[in-house]
Amino acid sequence: MAAPLASKAGSAGTNSKPPFPELDFRSGARVEELNKLIQEFTKHDQREYDDQRALEIHTAKDFIFSMLGMVQKLDQKLPVANEYLLLSGGVREGVVDIDLDELNVYARGTDYDMDFTLLVPALKLHDRNQPVTLDMRHSALCHSWLSLRLFDEGTISKWKDCCTIVDHINGATNYFFSPTKVADWFYDSISIVLSEIQKKPQRGMPKVEKVEKNGTIISIILGVGSSRMLYDIVPVVSFKGWPAVAQSWLMENHFWDGKITEEEVISGFYLVPACSYKGKKDNEWRLSFARSEVQLKKCISSSLMQAYQACKAIIIKLLSRPKAISPYHLRSMMLWACDRLPASYLAQEDYAAHFLLGLIDDLQHCLVNKMCPNYFIPQCNMLEHLSEETVMLHARKLSSVRSDPAEHLRTAIEHVKAANRLTLELQRRGSTTSIPSPQSDGGDTNQPDDRLAKKLQQLVTENPGKSISVFINPDDVTRPHFRIDDKFF
């Protein structure tokens, strides 16, 4: 008799809510509780900027751009009018696909309060309207050597000392742009410029707290007022157009179809200084689609992004030793999930818990099968080089997360709250130290005014979590031009 009664109640339009709260089958966790924990993590993880902090961010950014303008003037190697890509989050946060095993460990709260990645083109190939063909004969998939034969004699002459030289049988000499030599030159040039700047410190100028070469990237931590900002600066090669090796990807259906144009997605790509597992470090670059990923991010729902950020916080701590899985792997899996699942499902605002559990399942599946395809070049397996022992170790660790996701979320929340407490404590101390505030009355006529702070605060408020592209002429560093997605300022 119970079943017919239940059927009659449902047909009468009464509340059909199940008698039990929705549970995760594997862990027994209440989905509602997981959603609340993800919301709490998001609340503590997101940064709120007042006018003072916004001005400090702008002051640090201007300092970095002015420094790069001076680097360009040292030996005229960098393009005179350059276009940088500024990304929210450091390299360790997975914003670009660079190996983390060569990077020193920095912790938010202890070492810095905010982190950014800045892609700085050392060379640009921007005059081609056809698919870009790269020299991949010597490289693993998703990697390439770069011959300076593509450039004019002036460029070859300027960069000859940052190349490896290969002599051919016919007597011709080929210069291959070396990521390690470029990184060495970049670090040396930045060190020279910073040394000169620090000889004549000005009131309100950021304090350079750390400059380190981490593999092929340069990490700079600046103290500005009561804030510490980490800039991971990456020398890259910038291309307009799209690489021929990724042409087939454009033929497939994708989650962003109809939401953004193909022209926005394929406007350009980079070579970043990272080699494959068995590649030659002095010659091999890795393809990066960071510019495209900025565009794709606009099509990802806020609930999925919240789940991704929470999952990333969990795996950064849990899977740090040995370093085999990076947040960039998780980002790739999220993009594949967006292609695989209906947009209406991914748009559900109260499904963050489902998305978190799904991302953990996906990552474990990739580890067990030792298979994580690059989103743009699927034939490239980003886990191919890992040993069976390593992947199974991480898979077992993830199994513990999947068995008790609520506890691991609580741990992630405590970590981010602890980092925030450290930041606040250091800010309180900083207010009584000699580190000058950008708003201090130092008589510097170049100091930004309150209108700039309000403008920047407005940009930050209106564009949370978005990446910023900046066009700046090193000969006129007083006039930066911001681009947040497709808007210019």
Domain boundaries, the chain: 29-425
Contacts of 170 (CB under 8 A, 6+ apart): none
Average pLDDT value for the chain? 84
Q: Name 65's Cβ contacts closer than 8 Å, sequence gap at least 6.
A: 84, 470, 472, 477, 480
Q: In this structure, are residues 452 and 58 in contact, taking their beta carbons and an 8 Å threshold?
A: yes
Say if residue 450's pLDDT is above 60.
no
| Confidence category of residue 449, pLDDT binned at 50, 70, 90 | very low
Question: What is this structure's pTM?
Answer: 0.84
- Specify the CATH number for 29-425; select among 3.40.50.300, 1.20.1260.10, 3.30.460.90, 3.20.20.140: 3.30.460.90
C-beta contacts of 323-326 below 8 A and 24+ residues apart = 323/99, 323/100, 323/101, 324/383, 324/386, 324/390, 324/391, 324/394, 325/363, 325/367, 325/394, 326/94, 326/97, 326/99, 326/100
HSE, CB side, 13 Å, CA atoms: give it for residue 40.
Answer: 15
Judged against a pLDDT cut of 70, whether residue 402 lies above it is answered with yes
Q: How confident is the model at residue 463 (pLDDT cuts 50, 70, 90)?
A: low
Range in 142-151, 241-250, 317-326 with the lowest mean pLDDT:
317-326
Is residue 252 over pLDDT 90? Answer: yes
Q: What pLDDT is attached to residue 17?
A: 61
Helix axes 290-297, 327-340, angle to 10 degrees: 50
Q: What percentage of the chain carries pLDDT values higher than 90?
A: 62
> What pLDDT does residue 260 have?
93
pLDDT at 459: 59
Percent of residues, the chain, with pLDDT higher than 70: 81
Higher-scoring residue by pLDDT: 48, 244: 244
List, in order, residues 6 or more apart from 98 with CB less than 8 Å away.
91, 215, 216, 217, 234, 272, 273, 274, 286, 328
| 84 sits in which H/E element | strand 82-88
Model pLDDT, residue 426: 79
Instruction: Determine the straight-line distance between the first and last CA of the chain, rounded to whole angstroms.
Output: 68
Two structure tokens written together for 392: 């199974």
Tell me how many helices (H) and strands (E) the chain has.
14, 13
> What is the pLDDT at residue 136?
86
Phi, psi angle pair for 109, to nearest 5°:
95, -45
- C-alpha distance from residue 257 to each of 254, 264, 305, 388 (Å): 6, 11, 19, 37
Contact 317/412 with Cβ under 8 angstroms? yes
- Reply yes or no on whether the pLDDT at 420 is more than 50: yes
- Helical ranges in 209-326 per DSSP H: 262-265, 290-297, 302-318
**Cβ-based neighbours of 454, under 8 Å, separated by 6 or more:** 51
Per-residue pLDDT, averaged over 215-226, amounts to: 94
pLDDT digits (tens, 9 = 90+) for 94-128: 999 998 888 888 999 999 999 999 999 999 987 65
